[in-house]
């Protein structure tokens, strides 16, 4: 102990203040707050009397709420609604009995038809704050079905012992966000009817009675065919049950339930159209050429597959090895066309390959956005026009700011309400220089 004291050079801990902070964090004080606006993540934002911002889960703009603080820091706090004193006219009763319990669909208290309008305000402000720029005036959010839209999910199957000692019973549910618990459901209202039906009918057969639990990816191809995948699946079962074909954009696209595929097939054609229009405009303007289409973060070669007829050479780059065999099926060498499907991190591919023609480039990274090496390599390349598809407007705004410093301008932006009842949004940006 004496040794430790001598070696310890940091500031002495202020035990009195530590205790006060701890008790404030635990204590849960209540405040009556007017909600100013919605912020990224779907929470309402208000201010405490001492000027600190409070992010309030479950609150809507304009509402007066009694809020219990759940978290405190020097410059901001978090809270949850204990009582809505003056409700917003847009507030509705959440449809799902698991609202607030399963960790998903946290925007159900906002009327479905108001969600896109609200998210548009959030994204305009997010862009202003993070990228110091304005989203174009004609930025719109495409909307589709508010419920029953989700065609892909990961569900946990678990065997529960019956109290009376009779055989186990199988339940299924979503894994809780911060625990290993599962939240069982019988009908998830954002999943497609076909997925709900499949889950109810297959729970008992999918999980063997001697195993405790199984994580299963399920996928509805939009034509009533359900595929599924679980770790350790035998190859013959994989070929029979995991592989699927989706018809979209005039193409048949092969995938399987172990890898990424878009999760809102109803609205996906609108994103496909937007990307196709952006590609056509690039070719017509001469800013991009049809010599080379590069589809980075390509999954099973989704965008390249739909656009392949327009290009002489196509490269798809995807890190997940399981995507490669499907990309090879989805893209055909045809006539003069040269196709290259690469299984590698996009940033590595960009460092090893010089893009010295004004290629047409599509990037569709995961939530984390573009790795910084990938962004730097794109800036250094001869690409003058970039189509950036994103499932996280925060990392999109961050990356846009860097492209903007490097001379790119935002020429077009569209939003896609792929995840109704949640605060998430899909976006497409076209950047030119």
Ligand X SMILES: C[S@@+](CC[C@H](N)C(=O)[O-])C[C@H]1O[C@@H](n2cnc3c(N)ncnc32)[C@H](O)[C@@H]1O
With beta carbons less than 8 A apart as the criterion, state whether 54 and 78 touch: yes
Looking at residues 167 to 206 of the shown chain, list those that interact with ligand X (rule: CB under 6 A).
Answer: none
Interface with ligand X, residue 369, by CB under 6 A: no
Stretch near ligand X under the rule CB under 6 A, chosen from 79-87, 133-141, 257-265, 395-403 = 257-265
Interface with ligand X, residue 244, by CB under 6 A: no
Closest CB to ligand X among 103 and 371? 371
Looking at residues 134 to 163 of the shown chain, list those that interact with ligand X (rule: CB under 6 A).
Answer: none
Looking at residues 279 to 308 of the shown chain, list those that interact with ligand X (rule: CB under 6 A).
Answer: 297-299, 302-303
Interface with ligand X, residue 393, by CB under 6 A: no
Minimum distance, C-beta of residue 47 to ligand X, in the bound complex (Å)? 36
If you search the block for the tokens 């399987």, which residue do you land on? 256
Minimum distance, C-beta of residue 431 to ligand X, in the bound complex (Å)? 17
Given 87, 222, 266, 371, the residue binding ligand X (CB under 6 A): 371
Burial tier of 114 (Cβ tally within 10 Å: 0-12, 13-18, 19+): middle
Interface with ligand X, residue 350, by CB under 6 A: no
Interface with ligand X, residue 262, by CB under 6 A: yes
Minimum distance, C-beta of residue 146 to ligand X, in the bound complex (Å)? 22
Interface with ligand X, residue 256, by CB under 6 A: no
**How many residues contact ligand X, by CB under 6 A?**
20
Minimum distance, C-beta of residue 251 to ligand X, in the bound complex (Å)? 13
Sign of CA dihedral 171, 175, 179, 183: negative
Minimum distance, C-beta of residue 237 to ligand X, in the bound complex (Å)? 23
* Cβ contacts of 323 within 8 Å, gap of 6 or more: 259, 260, 298, 299, 300, 301, 343
Closest CB to ligand X among 77 and 262? 262
Closest CB to ligand X among 115 and 298? 298
Minimum distance, C-beta of residue 230 to ligand X, in the bound complex (Å)? 18
Given 99, 219, 260, 416, the residue binding ligand X (CB under 6 A): 260
Binding mask of the shown chain, residues 303 to 342, with x at each position contacting ligand X by CB under 6 A = x-------------xxxx----------------------
Interface with ligand X, residue 219, by CB under 6 A: no
Interface with ligand X, residue 346, by CB under 6 A: yes
Closest CB to ligand X among 123 and 426? 426
Residue 183 pairs with which residues in a beta bridge? 174
Closest CB to ligand X among 110 and 370? 370
Contact set with ligand X (CB under 6 A): 260-262, 297-299, 302-303, 317-320, 345-347, 364-366, 371, 391
């Amino acid at each position: 102990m004496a040794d430790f004291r001598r070696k310890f050079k940091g500031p002495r801990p202020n035990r009195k203040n530590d205790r006060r902070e701890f008790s404030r964090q635990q204590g849960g004080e209540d405040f009556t707050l007017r909600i100013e606006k919605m912020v990224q993540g779907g929470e309402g934002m208000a201010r405490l009397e001492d000027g600190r911002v409070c992010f309030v889960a479950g609150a809507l703009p304009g509402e007066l709420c009694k809020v219990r603080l759940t978290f405190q820091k020097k410059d901001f706090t978090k809270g949850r609604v204990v009582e809505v004193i003056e409700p917003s006219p847009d507030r509705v009763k959440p449809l799902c009995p698991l609202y607030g319990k399963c960790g998903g669909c946290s925007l159900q208290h906002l009327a479905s038809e108001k969600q896109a309008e609200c998210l548009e305000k959030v994204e305009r402000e997010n862009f202003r704050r993070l990228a110091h720029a304005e989203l174009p005036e004609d930025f719109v959010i495409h909307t589709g079905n508010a419920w029953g839209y989700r065609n892909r999910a990961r569900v946990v199957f678990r065997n529960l012992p019956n109290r009376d000692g009779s055989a186990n019973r199988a339940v299924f549910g979503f894994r809780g966000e911060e625990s290993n618990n599962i939240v069982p459901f019988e009908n998830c209202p954002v999943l497609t009817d076909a997925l709900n039906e499949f889950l109810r009918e297959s729970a008992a057969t999918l999980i063997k009675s001697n195993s405790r639990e199984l994580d299963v990816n399920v996928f509805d191809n939009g034509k009533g065919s359900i595929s599924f995948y679980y770790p350790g699946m035998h190859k013959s079962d994989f070929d029979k049950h995991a592989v699927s074909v989706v018809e979209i954009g005039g193409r048949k696209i092969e995938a399987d339930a172990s890898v990424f595929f878009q999760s809102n097939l109803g609205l996906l054609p609108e994103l496909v159209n937007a990307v196709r229009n952006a590609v056509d405009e690039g070719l017509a303007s001469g800013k991009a050429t049809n010599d080379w289409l590069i589809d980075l973060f390509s999954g099973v070669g989704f965008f390249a597959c739909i656009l392949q007829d327009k290009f002489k050479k196509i490269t798809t780059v995807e890190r997940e090895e399981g995507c490669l065999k499907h990309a090879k099926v989805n893209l055909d060498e045809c006539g003069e066309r040269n196709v290259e499907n690469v299984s590698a991190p996009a940033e590595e591919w960009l460092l090893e390959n010089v893009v010295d023609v004004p290629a047409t480039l599509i990037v569709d990274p995961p939530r984390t956005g573009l790795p910084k090496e990938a962004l730097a390599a794109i800036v250094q390349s001869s690409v003058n026009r970039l189509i950036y598809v994103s499932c996280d407007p925060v990392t999109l705004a961050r990356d846009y700011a860097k492209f903007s410093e490097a001379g790119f301008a935002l020429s077009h932006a569209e939003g896609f309400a792929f995840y109704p009842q949640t605060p998430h949004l899909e976006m497409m940006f076209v950047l030119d220089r």
